[in-house]
Structure 1
Amino acid sequence: MQLNRENGQWLERQTRLECELVQARQRADAQQHEHDALRLTAAEHQALQARWTQDAHALEGVRAELAAARTELVEERQRREHAEADTSRATVRLSTLEQLLEQLRQVRPVGEQVTSGKDETSPDANSQLL
């Protein structure tokens, strides 16, 4: 009877240990899966860090290009504004000269000679008027 009781206790102990072993193996498997997932996540993290570094360098390059383009734009805008101002002045000057020429034509007919012997509409006569 004593042996049966001891056998029963050993059997219970063995069953309990087997259950604990199964649970320990399940925990080990779960931890291994978690470890594998973390290793994969770490690899992805390193790849993302490398890509971020490359993108940061590319961004700096784009910023430098943008700054150069803005500088070029300002310079081009200034050149255009100067050209527009020159054109405006030339237009006003041309208009004034056309008005002056028209006034001179009204005062003297085109065919009439100036006392110096030159026609007022000739380029030399016009340049002297200016």
Structure 2
Amino acid sequence: MAVNFMGAVFVRVSNLEQSIRFYSDILGLHLRNIEECGRIANFIIHENSPLLTLIKSEEFQIQEFPTFNLNYSHVLEVHEKLQSQGVKVGPIKNWSSDRNVHIDFDAYDPDGNAINIIEWSKKANN
């Protein structure tokens, strides 16, 4: 049994309209569609990437630790912009893995769900 690809990442939110504005206007994601009587919103990042699906739910648990990350260029500028827009953001972290150099931070959606914002580049020796 082989997996073909990841189809979607699901995030539960309390206010779909507010969350749609945050993910599109603040984070810059493209809303693909709203379905199931306005209860689900699908965002597309790239045609080959999984969907980010927001699900309106009265009962959910805030994801204090990120369950996904979004890769941006110029992460320091993104951090500054989000802060200036009043978005709760965590500290900037610089770190390396065996292959890449990373800079990242966590941002929080209107419900307090953590989203990791990251930029990475290959190490010079790879």
| TM-score for both structures, normalised by structure 2 | 0.17
Please identify the structure whose Cα radius of gyration is greater: 1
| TM-score for both structures, normalised by structure 1 | 0.17
- Point out which structure has higher relative CO (alpha carbons under 8 A, 6+ apart): 2
More helix by share: 1
